[in-house]
Chains A and B, each alone.
Chain A
Amino acid sequence: MSFAGPLVELQAVTKVFGGLTAVRDVTLSVHRGEIVSVIGPNGSGKSTLFNLINGILASTSGEIRVFGRTTRGLGAHQVARLGVGRTFQTTQVFADKTVVDNAMVGRHLRVKTGLWAAQVRGNRFRNEEEQHRARCLQTLEVVGLREHAGRLAGQLPTALQQRVAIAMALAGEPELLLLDEPTGGLMEQEVMELMGLLRRIRALGITIMLIEHKMRLVRQVSDRIAVLNNGTMICEGVPDKVLNDQLVVEAYLGTAGAAAAYGD
C-alpha cells in the first residue's frame, strides 16, 4: 500500500474531557517520509493528540484521517493494523519476556496463523514462526538490540527498554510511527544515539511523529514542528521558523527562561 496523500490529516480536531478542552481545533497534516515533532509545555495536549490519532481516544469533534481513511469508530488495534505504531511516554514493555519475544508480540498484526494451524503444528506453522522470528531479529538489529535478544526486557537499563518499545512498534512494519518522548530519562550520549536511530528509521521509509522536550534533538531531526499550548496549536512550520517564533518562545519557555534555555 502506498498512499500518496498526507499520512495523517487532522481537521479541526477537538477533544473535551468533562469541562477540560485537552485539544482544541487542531488542524495538521503529516506527509510521507517526514519527521514531525509535536512540542509544548506539560499538559498542552501532546499525548492526547497521539491518543486521538491512534484510536485510543475518540475525538469530540473534527475529522482524523490516517492514510486517507477516517478513524472514526476504529479502535486502537484497528488503527495499528492500518500501519500505525506507537510508543508511550512511560516506557511500556513486557518486562518478564525476552527482548525478541517482546518484538514477536509487536509482530502479531503480521501473523496469519490461526488456532487450528497452531494445534496441528505442520511445517507451515513452524516456517511462519521461524520467519517472524527472523524478521524480529532484523528489527532488533535496526534498533541496536540484536545482542540483547535473549535477555529479559525488564532487566535492561532505561535507554535499552525504550528501544525495546520502539522495536515492538517497528516489528509490526508500520508506515507511521508515533514516539511519545523517547528521550525520557536518557543521558546526553544516549539522546545522540537516539537521533541516529530516528534517522535510520526514516531511511526505512517510515514517517515519524515525535513528542519531545529536548530542544536540540527536535531542532536537528525535525522537518517540521507543531507547537501546542493549552490544547491549541499556536505555531507550525520548519524548525528555524517555529523555534524563533516569539509566541512559541514565550509559551514554551516562559519569557524569563527563554534566554537561558536557548543555550540548550
Chain B
Amino acid sequence: MWRTPRSTLLVIGGLALAAAAPFIVTNGYLFHLLVMSAIWGILATSLNLVLGYTGLLSLAHGAFFGMGAYTSALLVEKWDWNFWATVPPAMAIAGLAGAVLGVLTLRLEGHYFAISTLSFGIVVSLVLEKWDDLTEGARGITSIPAPDAIPLFGLGQIRFDSDIAKYYLAVAVLAICLLFVWRLVHSPMGRALEAIRRNELLAACLGIDLVFYKLMAFSISAAMAGLAGVLYSVYITYLNPADAGFWNGFYAVMYIVIGGMGTFWGPLIGTLFLVTLPEFLRMFQEFRLLILGVLLIITITFLPDGIVGGAKLLWRRGTQFWATQK
C-alpha cells in the first residue's frame, strides 16, 4: 500500500500537514494536545504491534513508557549524560523489561496474560515511588532539561528548547516508528504475527514458533514504548511515578480500539481523535468520561475495526455505489 500512488500521496500530504501544523494551530493548548498526540501516537503504534497484530492484550505498556522516561531523565539529571546518549539505554531497559516479562507471562493465555501485565505495571510504578534515593519518590523528577542541541559544524546548531522544536522531534520519531512498524508487518515476521493472532494452533502447525515471535514483538514494542516515554520526559519536563502507572497503558489500548485494532493507521487516528476530542467536548466537562465510555461501547459493538475499519467500509460501499450509478 506504501507503493501505490494514492497511499504515497496520502503519506506526503500527512507529512506536509504535520510540518505545517505549528503555523496553523496557534492556540497554545491545542498545540500542546498536538504534541501529546504525537507522543501518545508512538505509544499506541508500539502497542498496536502487540495488541493489534499479534493479538496480545498488554496492560504493561504504561510501565515500559515510564521506564524509558525515567531512565533518560535520571541519566540526564543525576549523571549528566547527553540527552541523545540516553535514548539507547532507555529503549534497551524498556525492551529488556519487556523480554523478561514476556518470558514469564507469554505462555499464559488471554486474560491471565493481561492480568499479569497489569500487575507488572503496578509494581513498576510502586518501585518508582518507593525507591526514593534514585527516583525522588512521589516528588518526582522536576525541570528535566530540553534535549541537547545538535551542532551542525559551522552552520550553527539545532536547538530543542522551544515547544515547536520538540513537536518536530516527536513527529520525526513518530514517522520513523511508523515506517519501522510498516516494514515489520509487511515482512515474513509480520505474516507470522498475524497468523498467530488469527489462529495459534494453525500457525504452530505451519512451523511458526509462537513463543519466539510473541517475545520478539513484545520486546520490540516495549522498547518503542520506552522511546515514547523519553520524548514525554523532555516535553513535559516533569515525571512522577504515576506516569509509569497503568493509566497510560489503558489509554493506549483505548486509542487503538477506537482507531482500529490491527490496522496500520488506526492507533494514530484513534490517538488524534481521543486526545483532541475532550477539547471539543469542553462544554460537557462533567460528562467527558461518560461520553468516552459510550463511544468505546459503540465502537466495540458496531465498528470492531474502529474508525479506520469504518472508513474502509464506507469507501468500499461508496465506490460500489458509484460503480452501479455509471
Q: How far is the CB of A116 from chain B (nearest CB, A)?
A: 10
Q: How far is the CB of A188 from chain B (nearest CB, A)?
A: 28
Asked if A109 is at the interface of the complex by the 8 Å CB criterion, the answer is: yes
Contact across chains for A105 and B180 when beta carbons are under 8 A apart: no
Interface of B is mostly: helix
Asked if A231 is at the interface of the complex by the 8 Å CB criterion, the answer is: no
Contact across chains for B216 and A115 when beta carbons are under 8 A apart: yes
Within B182-237, the residues touching A (CB, 8 Å) are: 183-184, 186-192, 194-195, 198-199, 201-210, 216, 220
Within A87-101, the residues touching B (CB, 8 Å) are: 88, 92, 94, 96-97, 101
- Checking A77, A92, A168 against B209 with a beta-carbon cut-off of 8 angstroms, the contacting residue is A77
Contact across chains for B187 and A168 when beta carbons are under 8 A apart: no
Within B121-151, the residues touching A (CB, 8 Å) are: none
Known contacts A94-B195, A94-B199, A115 near B207 by CB under 8 Å: no
Contact across chains for A54 and B188 when beta carbons are under 8 A apart: no
Q: How large is the interface on A (under 10, 10 to 19, 20 to 34, 35 or more residues)?
A: 20 to 34
Contact across chains for A113 and B202 when beta carbons are under 8 A apart: no
Contact across chains for A105 and B205 when beta carbons are under 8 A apart: no
Asked if A111 is at the interface of the complex by the 8 Å CB criterion, the answer is: yes
Known contacts A108-B191, A118-B187, A119-B183, A172 near B199 by CB under 8 Å: no
Within A72-106, the residues touching B (CB, 8 Å) are: 75-78, 80-81, 85-86, 88, 92, 94, 96-97, 101, 104-106
Contact across chains for A86 and B187 when beta carbons are under 8 A apart: no
Q: Which chain B residue shows the least CB distance to A132? A: B188
Contact across chains for A168 and B188 when beta carbons are under 8 A apart: no
Q: How far is the CB of A109 from chain B (nearest CB, A)?
A: 3
Known contacts A94-B198, A115-B216, A105 near B183 by CB under 8 Å: no
Contact across chains for A77 and B189 when beta carbons are under 8 A apart: no
Known contacts A94-B198, A94-B199, A108 near B206 by CB under 8 Å: yes
Determine the distance from Cα of A94 to Cα of B187 in the docked complex, in whole angstroms. 17
B interface with A by C-beta (< 8 Å):
180, 183-184, 186-192, 194-195, 198-199, 201-210, 216, 220
A interface with B by C-beta (< 8 Å):
54, 56, 75-78, 80-81, 85-86, 88, 92, 94, 96-97, 101, 104-106, 108-109, 111, 113-115, 117-119, 121, 125, 168-169, 172
Q: List 12 A-B contacts (CB under 8 A).
A: A54-B205, A76-B201, A77-B206, A94-B195, A104-B191, A105-B191, A105-B195, A113-B188, A118-B187, A119-B180, A125-B187, A172-B206
